[in-house]
């Protein structure tokens, strides 16, 4: 039970996070990352929750980042809206939920409309360009994930993994090999090949259409509060 | 202290799944339960894992009362046993928690707190079962209540729960919340030797000398598994040192006082907290569970804004860690207790405050987590 | 007499104060005797026998016998017994319960114990009344009978313990009385030696709380009533008019392995499959 009752010195105290089992050393590919918040959203049945788990697992295990992944549960998770949130950081994560999004993936019109307001200024909005007819902003990235899955992979259910491929390309700290590995360990053999194909397709399409991956706002390393607005009078809308 | 750490296998797990890893690492070989959101993953995971554990037993019972009954039976038969539930099931278990406390039967009960009273908010977090965990079953009884704030802590505190149960012959309640239970994070899968593991002491004297509820140095009598040649009586009635019912005042008093003393004497071992920058803090946040995570970020942001803020994370809720809380209340100008209820742990903080400082509460009961900014507003 | 003395010395607790708590005329002591004689006849080791009892007069039996004894809360004996049996299938686990215990507050546990066929013997001491709390009606109190909570006569109908347990899927169900002691001994011994969930209903009069309020002049009269109204199932079935008659004997004997046995087999299979694949 090491560290269960340790009194930190004040100097480093406020900054120190538990150094117990968390364990990740945050340098899978050498890129230091301040708190980075992602929301994957869409409709029940689009595989949003699986996508969240795959992405989280890849970033946590394959890259060595600290990741918290939370999701909508219950009736909300069946039919209706579905979402999965991830916080990624080189340092241990205190608050596990998202506050202000760096990346919002929306696979439905409703999701794009509901969650757009949580995006940080200069945050990235990625949508299914055929399902989101009306983007809340003209600054967004779009690919027809569902059509790509249906026509090029031959499985409409692989939409989420096509989108995951695009996310893997867009995130400058993500490595496609690690994503592929996460996919292979998490999915049953029967559907593995189709999904690897979908992942690669998403990655290639993103590369072709989006040009450069996302540029991270600021060289990180100043701690996870870096990414959160510091105006003390500003209270979140949901409060 | 733990052995030097080897290379561990990592896994990206839910808090609920991490509880199972902790339980198996602690030597748990028996689970009986009844499904209830948001604790169900613990049960489902146990159903898959226990058949692979030597002598591992998994049982789905007809309700939560039966689940606790089976866990008590298994523990009497020598097993490290546990169950998991959420609010409505926790209410049903109260009868058997009292029986376990009275008969000094070690067991672990994980209660994943949801929001609201009654059926409430099944898929949203809450922390409304804190006082119930302490006083939910009738009559004076000792109990240990722990909490965990993140997924690695789910492993650690489940192991701790089993250790305390075995060491002190008592039911131990581990309070999680829906956020902690349903957040996925990376953990190192426990390997043998990672944790110090306690197992109950069994008697070494001849059976005819054995007195099952006798006073001992630690106040914790040794406990043989049923069927090992020590035949004795177990009852929920107030009993004498031999375990037989009694209503003689001196025997009744001796039993109850010993049951309290066995916990009271070991506060130092049992009361686990984490201090984050409290040494020079003029504002102290006292938090537990998922709210402690929000508080961690808020305190950090307050420091960056020039406020000398500190955080006391309570991992043990009961016995209430007064020896950690009281000195902070003496030295700070403001204590803030954020929690997902109408003010349950803050009652304890106010109880030990005795006018030392200002205690402010942040209470949230709408099924949403208290955000860092909500706490920051109170402390900065 | 000598043999009885031997049994008393061997199976009753020397450090427990006697006499029993039971009222004069109570049948519970006879069921206790039946239990002891059955364990003795089967040659079971005392260390391997576990008595799990509930609350009420019947629950007190546990304190007197020199086995591993667990006196649980009201209605929960079978839940604890299930845990013990699954944790250590080598033990002979006997749940001793009253009618209130087994079929009122613990009714749900009973039907599920029967359904899952946990290898536990259930001994239900049916006296048609809540004795220890002072004579309130239970779920086996006959329609029309008087009690402190049915002062104008019981309006509700009574459970037939045998039929209910049979329908729930128990491996064995039987009924005896404290008047027909030899037969009761045989039924208990049979239940103890069979796999799965086996229930024995023992009709045992409570003169203090039931008999006095329902027209019986003495405890002896209640035993006489048992003698006159109960008969072996074979004879019962031949009766034209069965009014007021109660059949005794074994009603179901199914060969169902206990849950603990099926569970062990499942685990064995799981491990073998895993070992084979590796």
pLDDT in tens, B293-317: 999 999 999 999 999 999 999 999 9
Dump pLDDT digits (tens) for B217-244.
899 999 999 999 999 999 999 999 999 9
What is the crossing angle of helices B15-26 and B40-49, to 10°?
Answer: 50
Distance from CA of B262 to the nearest CA of C (A): 23
Residue of chain B with shortest Cα separation from A74: B123
Residues from chain B contacting residue A3 (CB–CB below 8 Å) = 274
Mean local confidence (pLDDT), A171-191 = 92
Residue C62 near chain B (CB below 8 Å): yes
Looking at residue B4, the DSSP 8-state letter turns out to be: P
Q: Is the pLDDT of residue A75 over 80?
A: no
Instruction: Show which subunits contact C, needing at least 3 CB pairs below 8 angstroms.
Output: B
Give A45's pLDDT tier (boundaries 50, 70, 90). confident
The boundaries of the domain holding residue C18 are 2-277
B135 membership: H or E segment, kind and range = helix B130-135
Inter-chain CB pairs, A–B, below 8 Å = 176
Dump pLDDT digits (tens) for A126-143.
999 999 999 999 999 999
Sign of CA dihedral B9, B15, B21, B22: positive
Residue of chain B with shortest Cα separation from C48: B227
Dump pLDDT digits (tens) for B35-66.
999 999 999 999 999 999 999 999 999 999 99
Per-residue model confidence (pLDDT) at position A79: 60
Chains A and B touch (3+ CB pairs under 8 A): yes
- Using CA atoms of C200, C205, C209, C213 in order, give the dihedral in degrees to the nearest 10: 130
Dump pLDDT digits (tens) for B126-167.
999 999 999 999 999 999 999 999 999 999 999 999 999 999
Partner residue facing B231 (CB), from C67, C85, C270: C67
- To test the contact with chain B by mutation, choose from A12, A96, A238, A239 the residue with the greatest count of B C-beta atoms within 10 A, namely A96
C88 and B229: CB-CB below 8 Å? no
List of residues 6+ apart from B60 with CB closer than 8 A: B32, B33, B34, B35, B43, B47
List, for chain C, all residue ranges whose pLDDT scores fall below the cut of 50: 278
C86 and B74: CB-CB below 8 Å? yes
B30 and C87: CB-CB below 8 Å? yes
Q: Is the pLDDT of residue A8 over 70?
A: no
Looking at residue C150, the DSSP 8-state letter turns out to be: B
CATH class of A31-212: alpha beta
Residues from chain B contacting residue C274 (CB–CB below 8 Å) = 52
Give B8's pLDDT tier (boundaries 50, 70, 90). confident
CATH of the domain at C254: 3.40.50.970
A143 membership: H or E segment, kind and range = strand A141-143
Q: Which two tokens stand for residue B33?
A: 């339960």
Separation between Cα atoms, residue B226 and residue B202, nearest integer Å: 11
Mean local confidence (pLDDT), B186-205 = 96
**Lowest-pLDDT choice from A13-27, A35-49, A70-84, B70-84:** A13-27
B304 and A60: CB-CB below 8 Å? no
Give B5's pLDDT tier (boundaries 50, 70, 90). low
Q: What sections of B199-356 are H helices per DSSP?
A: 249-264, 267-270, 290-304, 322-331, 345-353
Residues from chain C contacting residue B67 (CB–CB below 8 Å) = 79
- Using CA atoms, how far residue C169 sits from A64, B225, B282, C126, C247, in Å, is 54, 31, 67, 20, 20
- To test the contact with chain C by mutation, choose from B67, B69, B242 the residue with the greatest count of C C-beta atoms within 10 A, namely B69
Residue C88 near chain B (CB below 8 Å): yes
Dump pLDDT digits (tens) for C82-97.
999 999 999 999 999 9
Task: Return the percentage of chain A with pLDDT > 90, whole number.
Answer: 63
Q: Is the pLDDT of residue A230 over 80?
A: no
Nearest to B18 by CA among B107, B84, B100, B87: B84
Dump pLDDT digits (tens) for C109-158.
999 999 999 999 999 999 999 999 999 999 999 999 999 999 999 999 99
Q: Is the pLDDT of residue A1 over 50?
A: no
A94 and B300: CB-CB below 8 Å? yes
Per-residue model confidence (pLDDT) at position A23: 36
B70 and C80: CB-CB below 8 Å? yes
Residue B51 near chain C (CB below 8 Å): yes
Inter-chain CB pairs, B–C, below 8 Å = 139
Q: Look at the block and give the residue holding tokens 């869409």.
A: A42
Burial of C252 (0-12, 13-18, 19+ CB in 10 A): middle
Partner residue facing B156 (CB), from A1, A24, A57: A1
Cis omega (within 30 of 0) on the bond before B38?
yes
Total domain count, chain C: 1
Task: Return the percentage of chain B with pLDDT > 90, whole number.
Answer: 97
Separation between Cα atoms, residue B377 and residue B346, nearest integer Å: 18
For chain A, the average pLDDT equals 81
Task: Return the percentage of chain B with pLDDT > 70, whole number.
Answer: 98
Q: Is the pLDDT of residue A220 over 50?
A: no
Per-residue model confidence (pLDDT) at position B324: 97
Per-residue model confidence (pLDDT) at position C205: 96
Domain ranges in chain A are: 31-212
Mean local confidence (pLDDT), A70-82 = 70
Give A36's pLDDT tier (boundaries 50, 70, 90). very high
Per-residue model confidence (pLDDT) at position C1: 59
Separation between Cα atoms, residue B185 and residue B152, nearest integer Å: 8
Residue of chain A with shortest Cα separation from B189: A21
Q: Which domains does chain B have, with CATH numbers?
A: 10-188 (3.40.50.970), 275-379 (3.40.50.920)
Within 10 A of B10 (CB to CB), how many other CB atoms are there? 17
C83 and B73: CB-CB below 8 Å? yes
């Amino acid at each position: 039970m090491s560290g269960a009752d340790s009194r930190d010195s004040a100097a480093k105290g406020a900054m120190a996070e538990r150094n117990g089992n968390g364990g990740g050393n945050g340098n899978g590919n050498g890129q230091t990352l301040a708190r980075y918040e992602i929301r994957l959203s869409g409709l029940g049945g689009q595989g949003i929750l699986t996508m969240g788990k795959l992405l989280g697992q890849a970033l946590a295990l394959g890259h060595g980042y600290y990741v918290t992944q939370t999701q909508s549960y219950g009736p909300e998770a069946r039919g209706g809206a579905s979402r999965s949130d991830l916080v990624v950081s080189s340092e241990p994560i205190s608050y596990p939920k998202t506050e202000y999004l760096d990346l919002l993936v929306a696979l439905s019109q409703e999701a794009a409309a509901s969650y757009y307001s949580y995006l940080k200024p200069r945050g990235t909005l990625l949508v299914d360009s055929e399902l989101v007819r009306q983007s809340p902003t003209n600054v967004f990235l779009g690919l027809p994930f569902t059509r790509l899955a249906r026509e090029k992979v031959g499985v409409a259910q692989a939409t989420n993994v096509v989108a995951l491929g695009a996310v893997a390309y867009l995130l400058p700290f993500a490595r496609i090999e690690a994503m592929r590995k996460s996919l292979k360990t998490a999915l049953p053999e029967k559907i593995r090949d189709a999904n690897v194909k979908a992942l690669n397709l998403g990655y290639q399409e993103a590369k072709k259409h989006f040009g450069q991956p996302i540029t991270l706002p600021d060289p990180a390393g100043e701690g996870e509060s870096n990414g959160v607005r510091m105006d003390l009078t500003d209270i979140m809308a949901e409060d | 202290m733990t052995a030097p750490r080897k290379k561990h296998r990592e896994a990206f797990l839910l808090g609920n799944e991490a509880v199972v890893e902790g339980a198996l690492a602690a030597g748990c070989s028996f689970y009986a339960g009844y499904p209830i959101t948001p604790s169900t993953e613990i049960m489902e995971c146990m159903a898959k894992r226990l058949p692979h554990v030597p002598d591992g037993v998994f049982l789905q019972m007809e309700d939560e009362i039966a689940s606790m009954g089976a866990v008590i039976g298994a523990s009497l038969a020598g097993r490290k046993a546990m169950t998991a539930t959420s609010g409505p099931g926790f209410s049903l278990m109260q009868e058997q928690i009292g029986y376990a406390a009275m008969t000094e039967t070690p067991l672990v009960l994980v209660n994943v707190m949801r929001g609201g009273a009654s059926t409430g908010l099944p898929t949203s977090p809450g922390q409304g079962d804190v006082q119930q965990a302490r006083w939910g079953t009738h009559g004076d009884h000792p109990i240990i209540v722990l909490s965990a704030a993140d997924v690695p802590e789910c492993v650690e505190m489940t192991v701790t729960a089993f250790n305390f149960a075995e060491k002190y012959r008592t039911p131990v309640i581990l309070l999680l919340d829906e956020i902690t239970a349903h957040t996925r994070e990376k953990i190192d899968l426990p390997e043998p030797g990672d944790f110090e593991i306690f197992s109950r002491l069994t008697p070494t004297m001849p059976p005819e000398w054995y007195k099952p509820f006798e006073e001992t140095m630690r106040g914790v009598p040794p406990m043989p598994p049923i069927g090992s040649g020590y035949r004795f009586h177990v009852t929920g009635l107030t009993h004498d040192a031999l375990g037989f019912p009694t209503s003689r005042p001196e025997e009744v008093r001796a039993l109850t006082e010993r049951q309290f003393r066995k916990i009271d004497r070991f506060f130092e071992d049992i009361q686990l907290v984490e201090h984050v920058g409290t040494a020079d803090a003029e504002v102290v946040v006292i938090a537990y569970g998922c709210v402690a995570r929000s508080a961690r970020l808020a305190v950090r942001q307050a420091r960056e804004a020039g406020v000398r803020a500190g955080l006391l994370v309570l991992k043990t809720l009961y016995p209430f860690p007064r020896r950690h809380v009281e000195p902070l209340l003496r030295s700070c100008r403001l204590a803030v207790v954020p929690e997902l209820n109408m003010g349950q742990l803050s009652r304890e903080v106010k109880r030990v405050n005795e006018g030392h400082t200002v205690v402010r509460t942040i209470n949230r009961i709408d099924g949403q987590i208290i955000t860092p900014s909500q706490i920051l507003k109170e402390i900065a | 007499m000598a043999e009885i003395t031997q049994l008393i010395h061997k199976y009753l607790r020397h450090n427990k104060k006697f006499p029993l708590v039971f009222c004069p005329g109570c049948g519970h002591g006879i069921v206790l005797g039946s239990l002891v004689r059955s364990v003795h006849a089967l040659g079971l080791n005392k260390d391997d026998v576990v008595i799990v009892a509930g609350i009420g007069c019947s629950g007190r039996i546990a304190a007197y016998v020199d086995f591993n004894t667990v006196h649980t809360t009201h209605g929960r004996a079978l839940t604890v017994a299930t845990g013990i049996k699954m944790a250590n299938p080598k033990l002979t686990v006997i749940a001793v319960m009253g009618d209130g215990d087994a079929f009122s507050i613990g009714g749900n546990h009973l039907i599920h114990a029967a359904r899952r066929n946990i290898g536990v013997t259930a001994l239900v001491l049916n006296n048609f009344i809540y004795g220890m709390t002072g004579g309130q009606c239970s779920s086996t109190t006959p329609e029309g009978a008087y009690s402190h909570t049915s002062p104008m006569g019981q309006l509700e109908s009574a459970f037939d313990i045998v039929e209910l347990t049979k329908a729930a899927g128990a491996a064995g169900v039987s009924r005896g009385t404290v008047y027909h002691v030899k037969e009761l001994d045989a039924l208990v011994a049979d239940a103890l030696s069979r796999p799965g969930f086996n229930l024995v209903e023992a009709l045992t009069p409570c003169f203090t709380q039931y008999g006095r309020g329902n027209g019986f002049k003495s405890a002896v009269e209640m035993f006489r009533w048992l003698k006159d109204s109960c008969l072996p199932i074979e004879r019962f079935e031949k009766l034209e008019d069965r009014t007021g008659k109660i059949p005794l004997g074994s009603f179901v004997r199914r060969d169902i392995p206990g849950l603990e046995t099926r569970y062990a087999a499942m685990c064995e299979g799981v491990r073998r499959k895993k070992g084979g694949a590796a």
